[in-house]
Amino acid sequence: MNVVRLVKKAKKGNKEALLELIMAQQDDYYRLALTYTGNPHDAMDAMEDMIVSLYEKMHQLKKEDAFYSWSKTILVNRCKLMLKKQGKVVLLEEWEQHESSHNPHEQREQQLEIQDMLELVNDYQREAIQLKYLHDLDYETIAEITNVSVGTAKSRVFQGLKKIKEQYRGESHE
């Protein structure tokens, strides 16, 4: 799939090209939306809003090769807007486990431990850490999504992880 070629077609109004771009990353979009909304129904609603917004705003995209970071930024903004309207606070989602663990009790324990760790950091650090490690996004994309500089995105991840390490170093977790 040639992203730049598809984006150029989508900018000219080709709905199939836009759909192909979205479908290629649909799982990533869904997991990202679920991170913010916390439930599958709201995640799907946010994705639908994103698709409409992408269709309406495709002409505003300056760099064709930045489509995915641009679209993920729009998705995050849709999620935040939805949560604001619902009066919810952005919290950690039920994140998808790696296939290495098949025991549901062990998976739930891991989820709770990660949630506990992320409660130790502020909202900005939590968001940056989730985007980096749960969604495997690069710092440039994280910076764009959170509307900060790359240095600030790196700092939020670093400072958050440092705070978690300091807390867990003080306790015996063996």
pLDDT of 129-158, one tens digit each?
Answer: 888 888 888 899 899 889 999 999 999 999
Q: Are 75 and 67 in contact (CB under 8 A)?
A: no
Structure tokens at 38: 């916390």
Range list of H helices, 12-129: 15-24, 26-37, 40-57, 67-86, 104-118, 123-129
Q: Where are the domains of the chain?
A: 1-89, 102-174
Q: Domain 1-89, what fold?
A: Rna Polymerase Sigma Factor; Chain: A (1.10.1740)
Looking at the chain, the whole-number percentage of residues with pLDDT higher than 70 is 81
Mean pLDDT across the chain, nearest whole number? 82
pLDDT at 104 over 70: no
pTM of the entire structure? 0.63
User: What pLDDT does 136 receive?
Assistant: 82
| CATH level 3 topology of 102-174 | Arc Repressor Mutant, subunit A (1.10.10)
Q: Which residues contact 70 (CB under 8 A, 6 or more apart)?
A: 61, 144
For 83-97, write each residue's pLDDT tens digit: 877 765 444 433 343
